[in-house]
């Protein structure tokens, strides 16, 4: 009997994180391929099936990060952890601005086209519908996810410092519940209001719940105990119902089914995780490659943002003759190659810096 990934170890999630990163990059490539080929928002069925599941993929990513959290951090550790996130965020913003300048010079535009808007948007924590004095501020691409993960991790660490478990749970579950009440009663106006709040507080409130659910998954060891079939069936049916009839758009706070949609999204994540743990064989060669990507997922997000600023795929008119499938595949593989090469170079640089530091201390 072949071995399954069913050990409660640190590296057990690497391949799944790698797969989810690829799904997100592919869905971004689908959007650009569709824009290029003038498909609008109506994609071919295979692409629609994949794109609709992106919300569950993001939910799963947050839950896995919660599973890997270590709650007993000191105040100094929390501070260092948050400032490390901030350094990556601002360094990525500056690199995106440089990439934007290079792109502008390459196509013969003025060097500063969209550069200042991008920097202001990043400093302002813009969403994709933020306006300042009547001008739309472009939000910094996939970095929204990085910001939400950063904020949610910090807040969950701080909430974990409270002595009362009841107070912790009241805050973690109470804030998103209040949001959904406001969302439900305010209708369309409330939805737009929430989208426009800088630095994604609503998205962060949902992410805190997902991180906490992931943490509780590990604490209860629920993934490795036998669950009755009717529980499995109920979770799977609610996940399927949410997938078919919901929206689950975390960035834009689009929750067609309200709070039920978030519960269904968590159920969908459980299904996704369960299938992964039961079916994936760690001896597959592909798994090793996915693990490599998964271990660098927090590098790949910033590199992906820089790549989007450097290459405007929807301007590559020569790809149009390949059709939506061909253009999407080409965009996906070119950007993936670029991301992997940059990650390898970053890794080499990091090793070189560490070696220099080691040699410096060894001589002392």
Question: What tens digit of pLDDT does each residue of 298-314 get?
Answer: 889 889 988 988 888 87
Lowest mean pLDDT among 45-59, 171-185, 233-247, 258-272: 171-185
pLDDT of residue 320: 79
pLDDT bucket at 142, cuts 50 / 70 / 90: confident
- Structural domain for 32, as ranges: 1-362
323-362: b (≥16 Cβ within 10 Å) or e: ebeebbbbbbebbbebbbebbeeeeeeeeeeeeeeeeeee
pLDDT of residue 166: 86
Would the pLDDT of 95 be above 80?
yes
Mean pLDDT of 344-354: 84
Mean pLDDT of 211-234: 86
Q: For residues 191 and 197, what is the distance between their CA atoms, to the nearest angstrom?
A: 11
Would the pLDDT of 282 be above 80?
no
pLDDT of residue 138: 63
pLDDT of residue 354: 74
Higher pLDDT, 264 or 258: 264
pLDDT of residue 190: 46
Higher pLDDT, 185 or 20: 20
Would the pLDDT of 227 be above 50?
yes
Find, among 251, 331, 332, 342, the residue nearest to 299 by Cα: 342
Would the pLDDT of 256 be above 90?
no
pLDDT of residue 2: 41
Mean pLDDT of 122-139: 64
Higher pLDDT, 170 or 360: 170
| % of the chain at pLDDT higher than 90 | 15
Mean pLDDT of 154-159: 87
pLDDT of residue 334: 93
Q: Is the pTM of this model over 0.95?
A: no
pLDDT digits (tens, 9 = 90+) for 37-66: 877 667 788 888 888 888 899 999 999 989
Contact, 23 vs 57, CB < 8 A? yes
Would the pLDDT of 271 be above 80?
yes
Based on the structure, what is the number of domains in the chain? 1
Find, among 276, 338, 247, the residue nearest to 63 by Cα: 276
Place of tokens 């949001």: 179
Q: For residues 308 and 141, what is the distance between their CA atoms, to the nearest angstrom?
A: 8
């Amino acid at each position: 009997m072949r071995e399954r990934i069913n050990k409660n170890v640190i590296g057990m999630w690497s391949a799944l994180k790698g797969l989810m990163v690829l799904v997100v990059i592919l869905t971004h490539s689908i959007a650009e391929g569709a824009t290029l080929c003038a498909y609008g928002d109506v994609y071919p069925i295979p692409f629609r099936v994949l794109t609709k599941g992106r919300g569950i993929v993001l939910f799963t990513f947050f839950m896995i990060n919660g599973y890997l959290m270590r709650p007993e951090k000191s105040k100094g550790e929390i501070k260092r952890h948050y400032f490390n996130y901030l350094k990556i965020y601002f360094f990525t913003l500056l690199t995106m601005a440089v990439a934007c300048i290079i792109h502008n010079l390459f196509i013969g535009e003025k060097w500063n086209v969209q550069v200042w808007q991008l920097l202001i948007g990043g400093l302002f924590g813009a969403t994709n519908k933020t306006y300042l004095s009547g001008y739309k501020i472009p939000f910094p691409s996939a970095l929204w996810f990085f910001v939400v993960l950063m904020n949610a991790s910090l807040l969950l660490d701080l909430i974990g410092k409270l002595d009362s478990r009841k107070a912790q749970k009241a805050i973690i579950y109470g804030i998103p519940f209040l949001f959904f009440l406001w969302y439900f009663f305010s209708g369309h106006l409330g939805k737009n209001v929430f989208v426009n709040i800088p630095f994604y507080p609503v998205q962060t409130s949902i992410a805190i719940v997902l991180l906490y659910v992931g943490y509780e998954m590990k604490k209860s060891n629920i993934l490795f105990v036998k669950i009755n079939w009717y529980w499995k069936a109920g979770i799977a049916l609610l996940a399927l119902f949410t997938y078919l009839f919901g929206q689950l758009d975390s960035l834009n706070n689009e929750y067609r089914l309200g709070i039920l949609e978030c519960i269904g999204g968590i159920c969908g994540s459980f299904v996704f995780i369960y299938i992964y743990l039961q079916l994936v064989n760690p001896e597959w060669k592909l798994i090793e490659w996915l693990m490599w990507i998964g271990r660098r997922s927090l590098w790949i997000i910033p590199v992906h943002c820089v790549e989007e600023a450097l290459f405007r795929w929807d301007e590559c008119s020569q790809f149009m003759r390949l059709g939506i499938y061909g253009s999407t595949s080409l965009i996906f593989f070119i950007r993936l190659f670029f991301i992997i090469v940059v990650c390898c170079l970053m890794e080499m640089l990091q090793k070189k810096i560490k070696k220099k530091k080691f040699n410096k201390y060894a001589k002392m």
